[in-house]
C-alpha cells in the first residue's frame, strides 16, 4: 500500500459481537472474523476497525474493559487474535483496534482495589472519587448527568459498611472514569499501546477521545436543551431538517461542557503520537471526539496529534443538498487547515443505521434509538434508496471513509426488537424511555437459508434477527448486479482505480439547489436530493445508485460520470 495509507483508506468497522460466530454460542468471535475476511477483501476495503473484544463483564457491550491486554473468552483468546491479524495482513487488510481510555469496567482490578482502599488513597486516585455534597455527603459532588441517562455519580459503601465517597462515570455506573491527571494512569496506557503495537496492530480508534480530562474543580454544568444550539458546520443542517443533532455539545469552545474537549486532552495525544511514531509501518490514531464545530474537531488531528478524527458533523447531516454542500466544504476546510485528511461516515454501532435514519421524519436525538413507539419511521425501500444515494456520494469524496458492518447489505435499523432482548444500558438507565443502540447491532446475515442466516452454526444469536435478513443475506446479493453489495463493491473499486481518496473537490455550477454536483479528478458526481428527475451532464455513466430514467437522474439517486 502507498505511504500515508490512512489519508485515503476505506475502513470497515467490525462489531465483533455481531459479525460472525464460529463456536455457535450466538455471540460473534475472533475466529468468526478470521473465517469471513475473504468477504471483506472482495468488498475492497483497506482496513478494519474492531470494536472491543477485551476481557469485560459486557455491561456496555465491551466498552467496559476489565483487562486491556487480554481477549474476553466470549470472543476467543490472544492466539485467536494473532491468527486473525495474520490472516487480515495476508489479505492486504490493516487492523485497527479500539482503545477505551476514558473509563474502565468496575470489574477492573484497579477499581476493585480503589473500592477496598480508603478515601485519599493512591488506589482511589486513579479514578475520580469525591466526597458528596450536603451535610452527610448524601448529594452527588456535582450535577453532571450520564450520557446514558441518570446521574453521572454513584456512591460507594466504605469498608465499614457506611455510605461513603462518590465516583464519576460519564457513562454507565459500571464504567468509572479514570483520573488522567494521574501519571500512573498515563504510564499504564502507554504500556497498553505498546502491548498491541507489539502484536502488530496498525492503529487505534480512541473511544471518547474528547472526555478524558475534566475541568478543574468539576463545576456544575447544565447542557443546552435537546435540539438546542448546535451552530458551526452542522447548524444549517439542524435548521434545514428540524432534526436535532447531538445535544450535549455546544458550538462555542468557551461554552462547552466541563467534561468534553478540555485542552488537556491534547497533551495525551501528543505523547501517544510520539510513541506510535517509534514503530515502523505508519500506525495510526483515530479520534472519536463528539465536539463541534468542525474547526474544533480539527484540533485532534494537528500534525503532532492523531491522524484522523471521525466526522460526526457529516454523519448528522440530513439528506439535503444545501446542508451537504455546507458540511463538505466545512470538513475539507477544517481538516485541510491542519494538513489532515477529512473522514466521512454515515453509520456506526452507536447511531441509527443510515438506511433508516436519513428518512426518519420526526426528531430522533442521537443515542435515543428507534423502536415500536417511535414516530416518523420510513418504509424500507425508500429509506434504502436514499441510503444508497448517500453512500455513493460519500465514497466519491476525497479523504478516508468509514463503513459500518452490514451497511453494504443495506441493513435497516431493527425496530421491532422485543423489549426483553434489548441490552443497551441506555434502555435500562432511562426505564425504556430511550430505546438505545441495539437496533443497529443485530448480527449479520451471511447465507439466507442457513441457521441464524449464516451468522453462526446455532439458530439463535444474542439479539434476534428479523426474517427480512434472509433476503438481505450476503449470498443472495453477491451475484445480483443491482444489489446494495454490488453497489458498494463497484463504488469502492472505482474509488480505488480513480484514486478518488487522494483527489480534490471542485463544485460544479449550474445545477438546481437540490443537487450536489462536483468533480473529483476525472469523475463527475451528481446527487439528486430533490423530488424530480434531473438532466445529467454528458459523459459515460460509471456508476448509478439506481437505474437512470430515460437518461435522467431520478430523485434520491447519485451517479458518477467520466469527466
Q: What are the residues binding ligand GLC (CB under 6 A)? A: 60, 63, 100, 171, 207-208, 288, 349-350
Pairing relationship of beta strands 163-168 and 129-130 according to DSSP bridges: antiparallel
Of 108 and 385, which has the nearer Cβ to ligand GLC? Answer: 108
Helices and strands, counts by H and E, the chain: 16, 18
Q: Do residues 443 and 29 lie in contact, with contact meaning Cβ atoms separated by under 8 Å?
A: no
Signed CA dihedral, 442, 446, 447, 451: sign only: negative
CA distance 502 to 8: 6
Q: How far is the CB of 78 from ligand GLC (least distance, A)?
A: 22
Residue 189 CB, shortest distance to ligand GLC, in Å, is 15
Q: How far is the CB of 333 from ligand GLC (least distance, A)?
A: 26
Q: Which is nearer to ligand GLC, 207 or 248 (CB)?
A: 207
Q: How far is the CB of 239 from ligand GLC (least distance, A)?
A: 26
Closest CA to 319 of 368, 366, 370, 360: 360
Query: Looking at beta carbons only, is 289 or 323 nearer to ligand GLC?
Result: 289
**Active-site pick, 106, 207, 407, 438:** 207
In the complex, minimum distance from the CB of residue 101 to ligand GLC, in angstroms, rounded to a whole number: 10
Instruction: Note whether 357 and 351 are within 8 A (CB).
Output: yes
Contacts of 78 (CB under 8 A, 6+ apart): 70, 71, 199
Which lies closer to ligand GLC via its Cβ, residue 171 or residue 260? Answer: 171
Could you confirm whether 216 is annotated as catalytic?
Answer: no
Map residue 535 onto helix, strand or coil: coil
Q: Quote the least distance from Cβ 561 to ligand GLC, whole Å.
A: 37
What is the DSSP track for 173-220? TTSPBB-TTSHHHHHHHHHHHHHHHHTT--EEEETTTT-SS--TT---
Residue 119 per-residue DSSP state: T
List 160, 278, 420, 479, catalytic entry: 278
**CB atoms closer than 10 angstroms to residue 176:** 29
Q: Strand 163-168 vs strand 153-157: parallel, antiparallel, or unpaired?
A: antiparallel
Would you say 142 or 146 has its CB closer to ligand GLC?
A: 146
- Phi-psi group of 149: left, alpha or beta (phi > 0 → left; psi -120 to 50 → alpha; rest → beta): left
Is 36 in contact with 430 (CB distance < 8 Å)? no
Note whether 21 and 28 are within 8 A (CB): yes
Shorter beta-carbon distance to ligand GLC: residue 404 or 511:
404
Catalytic residue check, 109: no
How near is the Cβ of 226 to ligand GLC at its closest, in Å? 18
Q: In the complex with ligand GLC, which residue's Cβ is closer, 174 or 241? A: 174
**Which residue reads 474502565 in cell numbers?**
104
End-to-end alpha carbon distance in the chain? 27
Q: Which residues are catalytic?
A: 207, 278
Amino acid at each position: 500500500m502507498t505511504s500515508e495509507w490512512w489519508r485515503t483508506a476505506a475502513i470497515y468497522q467490525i462489531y465483533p459481537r455481531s459479525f460472525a460466530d464460529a463456536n455457535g454460542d450466538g455471540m460473534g468471535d475472533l475466529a468468526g472474523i478470521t473465517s469471513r475476511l475473504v468477504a471483506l477483501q472482495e468488498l475492497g476495503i483497506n482496513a478494519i476497525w474492531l470494536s472491543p473484544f477485551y476481557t469485560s463483564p459486557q455491561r456496555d457491550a465491551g466498552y467496559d474493559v476489565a483487562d486491556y491486554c487480554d481477549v474476553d473468552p466470549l470472543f476467543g483468546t490472544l492466539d485467536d487474535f494473532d491468527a486473525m491479524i495474520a490472516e487480515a495482513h495476508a489479505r492486504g487488510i490493516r487492523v485497527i483496534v479500539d482503545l477505551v481510555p476514558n473509563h474502565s469496567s468496575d470489574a477492573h482490578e484497579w477499581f476493585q482495589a480503589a473500592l477496598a482502599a480508603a478515601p485519599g488513597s493512591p488506589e482511589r486516585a486513579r479514578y475520580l472519587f469525591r466526597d458528596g455534597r450536603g451535610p452527610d455527603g448524601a448529594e452527588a459532588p456535582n450535577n453532571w448527568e450520564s450520557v446514558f441517562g441518570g446521574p453521572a455519580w454513584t456512591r460507594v459503601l466504605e469498608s465499614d459498611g457506611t455510605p461513603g465517597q462518590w465516583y464519576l462515570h460519564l457513562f454507565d455506573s459500571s464504567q468509572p472514569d479514570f483520573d488522567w491527571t494521574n501519571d500512573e494512569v498515563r504510564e499504564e496506557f502507554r504500556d497498553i499501546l505498546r502491548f498491541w503495537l507489539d502484536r502488530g496492530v496498525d492503529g487505534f480508534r480512541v473511544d471518547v477521545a474528547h472526555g478524558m480530562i475534566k475541568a478543574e474543580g468539576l463545576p456544575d454544568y447544565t447542557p443546552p436543551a435537546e435540539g438546542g444550539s448546535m451552530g458551526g458546520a452542522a447548524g444549517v443542517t439542524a435548521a434545514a431538517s428540524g432534526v436535532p443533532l447531538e445535544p450535549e455539545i455546544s458550538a462555542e469552545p468557551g461554552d462547552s461542557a466541563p467534561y468534553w474537549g478540555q485542552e488537556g486532552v491534547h497533551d495525551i495525544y501528543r505523547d501517544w503520537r510520539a510513541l506510535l511514531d517509534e514503530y515502523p509501518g505508519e500506525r495510526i490514531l483515530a479520534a472519536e471526539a463528539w465536539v463541534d464545530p468542525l474547526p474544533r474537531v480539527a484540533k485532534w488531528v494537528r500534525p503532532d496529534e492523531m491522524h484522523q478524527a471521525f466526522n460526526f458533523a457529516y454523519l448528522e447531516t440530513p439528506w439535503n443538498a444545501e446542508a451537504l454542500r455546507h458540511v463538505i466544504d466545512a470538513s475539507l476546510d477544517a481538516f485541510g487547515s491542519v494538513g489532515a485528511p477529512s473522514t466521512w461516515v454515515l453509520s456506526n454501532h452507536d447511531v441509527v443505521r443510515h438506511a433508516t435514519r436519513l428518512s426518519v421524519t420526526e426528531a430522533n436525538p442521537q443515542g435515543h434509538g428507534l423502536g415500536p413507539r417511535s414516530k416518523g419511521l420510513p418504509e424500507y425501500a425508500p429509506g434504502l434508496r436514499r441510503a444508497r444515494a448517500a453512500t455513493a456520494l460519500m465514497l466519491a469524496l476525497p479523504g478516508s471513509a468509514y463503513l459500518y458492518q452490514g451497511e453494504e447489505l443495506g441493513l435497516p435499523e431493527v425496530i421491532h426488537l422485543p423489549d426483553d432482548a434489548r441490552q443497551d444500558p441506555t434502555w435500562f438507565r432511562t426505564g425504556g424511555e430511550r430505546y438505545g443502540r441495539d437496533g443497529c447491532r443485530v448480527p449479520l446475515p451471511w447465507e439466507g437459508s442457513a441457521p441464524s442466516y449464516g451468522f453462526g452454526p446455532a439458530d439463535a444469536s444474542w439479539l434476534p434477527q428479523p426474517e427480512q435478513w434472509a433476503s438481505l443475506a450476503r449470498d443472495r446479493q453477491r451475484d445480483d448486479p443491482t444489489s446494495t453489495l454490488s453497489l458498494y463493491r463497484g463504488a469502492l473499486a472505482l474509488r480505488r482505480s480513480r484514486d478518488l481518496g487522494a483527489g480534490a473537490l471542485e463544485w460544479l455550477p449550474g445545477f438546481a439547489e437540490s443537487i450536489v454536483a462536483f468533480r473529483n479528478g476525472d469523475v463527475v458526481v451528481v446527487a439528486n436530493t430533490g423530488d424530480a428527475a434531473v438532466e445529467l451532464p454528458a459523459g459515460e455513466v460509471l456508476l448509478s445508485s439506481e437505474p437512470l430514467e430515460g437518461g435522467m437522474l431520478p430523485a434520491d439517486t447519485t451517479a458518477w460520470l467520466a469527466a
